[in-house]
Amino acid sequence: MKNNLEEKFLENGYVILNNVIDKNLIKKSKSIIASSLNNHTNKKKLKNESLEKLFYDVRKKYSQHEVQVFLAKSLVNNNIIQNILLQDKVHKAISNLLGNDLEFATQFELAINVKNVNDEYLVKKYHQEFWSGVGINTLLLWVPINLKNKMGTIEVIKESHKWGHIPHQNREPITLPADSKKIIVKADEGSLVLMSAFTIHKTVPNILSEPRIAIPLTVRNFYYPTTGNEDMWSFEKYNYSFYTKFRKILGNPNFSPYRTFNSKRKDFFSKEKILGK
Ligand SMILES: [Fe+2]
């Protein structure tokens, strides 16, 4: 059977999935971000304060790196990342490419860009995620949460994933082919970009003062051998195949006979294990 997504991805090194995240989930993500920003200001809870105002208020007190980290944590803690990854079309695409035993890296930071900021940590030059330890067994997702016209997105170099590990110094390629196919990704809230660890990409600056906010995610099949530094990172499993579910039912690698025979606990996957509680 023809697999368009896989073919496109293998051909180009990236795929844009449009309209794959429910509007309410985007809305909920924004409200969690707003409330987390609000909690980090000295002010008492403000209703309907704009993300822009909250962001600049918080930046008076915290570095942008700190803000990006605590916001990412708030999304993980509120199950937003799991919910995004389990949106029907998102999950279908990822499991199509990686299978069903999936986990995402939990220690990351949001990518926030506003105008007139040129710091190269925030406005990244051309790079491959492989340089930062992401293996080729891993998928990268760029999920815009607050994105309007003129805010810019990311730029990718089409087909660059087939060039292998690009020589680099001080986090930038030593050279790039003159005829590289540079594409500025067209994405909206509700869409996302999938990339490989070898796909060369960079940040497109935001020319507005309103922050562009995106979630960069790292997803892998936890049975695939790592080809990067993933063994050093924390991951959270969010989907199991039949094989893994069966392993969990059996409970241990010795397959203890009758381990659960006559047990009153029926649900092997819920944290709430004792019925009638
Ligand atoms: Fe990147």
The band of 267, judged by pLDDT with boundaries at 50, 70 and 90, is low
The band of 2, judged by pLDDT with boundaries at 50, 70 and 90, is low
pLDDT above 90: residue 99: yes
Query: Ligand 1 centroid vs 46 CA: distance in angstroms?
Result: 34
pLDDT above 70: residue 274: no
Same domain for 162 and 57, yes or no, is yes
Same domain for 42 and 94, yes or no, is yes
Q: So what's the pLDDT on residue 96?
A: 96
Query: Ligand 1 centroid vs 84 CA: distance in angstroms?
Result: 19
Q: Are 175 and 126 in contact (CB under 8 A)?
A: no
Phi, psi angle pair for 98, to nearest 5°? -120, -5
Domain span holding position 207: 2-239
Same domain for 180 and 256, yes or no, is no
Identify the CA nearest to 146 among candidates 60, 14, 21: 21
Q: So what's the pLDDT on residue 276?
A: 46
Query: Ligand 1 centroid vs 28 CA: distance in angstroms?
Result: 25
Query: Ligand 1 centroid vs 208 CA: distance in angstroms?
Result: 21
Identify the CA nearest to 137 among candidates 98, 109, 100, 185: 98
Same domain for 44 and 175, yes or no, is yes
Tell me the CATH number at 93: 2.60.120.620
Record the tokens describing residue 162, joined without a space. Answer: 């087939």
Helix axes 23-39, 64-77, angle to 10 degrees: 130
Query: Ligand 1 centroid vs 176 CA: distance in angstroms?
Result: 17
Same domain for 125 and 229, yes or no, is yes
Round the CA-based radius of gyration of the chain to a whole number and report it: 21
Same domain for 233 and 277, yes or no, is no
What are 101-126's pLDDT values in tens digits? 999 999 999 999 999 988 889 999 99
Query: Ligand 1 centroid vs 181 CA: distance in angstroms?
Result: 17
Domains in the chain: how many in total?
2
Separation between Cα atoms, residue 199 and residue 215, nearest integer Å: 17
The one-character DSSP state at 70 is H
Same domain for 219 and 118, yes or no, is yes
- Across 123-157, b (16+ Cβ under 10 Å) vs e yields bbebbbbbbebbbbbbbbbbbbbbbeeebbbbebb
Separation between Cα atoms, residue 209 and residue 94, nearest integer Å: 34
Q: So what's the pLDDT on residue 260?
A: 87
Query: Ligand 1 centroid vs 83 CA: distance in angstroms?
Result: 22
Q: So what's the pLDDT on residue 187?
A: 95
Same domain for 123 and 259, yes or no, is no
Query: Ligand 1 centroid vs 111 CA: distance in angstroms?
Result: 10
Helix axes 64-77, 51-59, angle to 10 degrees: 130
What are 30-69's pLDDT values in tens digits? 999 999 999 998 777 777 789 999 999 999 999 999 999 9
Same domain for 34 and 78, yes or no, is yes
Same domain for 66 and 84, yes or no, is yes
pLDDT above 50: residue 275: no
Separation between Cα atoms, residue 203 and residue 144, nearest integer Å: 13
Query: Ligand 1 centroid vs 200 CA: distance in angstroms?
Result: 8
What are 167-220's pLDDT values in tens digits? 999 999 999 999 999 999 999 999 999 999 999 999 999 999 999 999 999 999
Query: Ligand 1 centroid vs 203 CA: distance in angstroms?
Result: 8
Between the two ends of the chain, the Cα-to-Cα distance in Å is 48
Q: So what's the pLDDT on residue 277?
A: 43
Query: Ligand 1 centroid vs 201 CA: distance in angstroms?
Result: 6
Query: Ligand 1 centroid vs 127 CA: distance in angstroms?
Result: 6
Query: Ligand 1 centroid vs 13 CA: distance in angstroms?
Result: 14
Same domain for 213 and 268, yes or no, is no
What are 220-237's pLDDT values in tens digits? 999 999 999 999 999 999
Separation between Cα atoms, residue 145 and residue 262, nearest integer Å: 48
Query: Ligand 1 centroid vs 57 CA: distance in angstroms?
Result: 27
What are 143-156's pLDDT values in tens digits? 999 999 889 999 99
Same domain for 164 and 27, yes or no, is yes
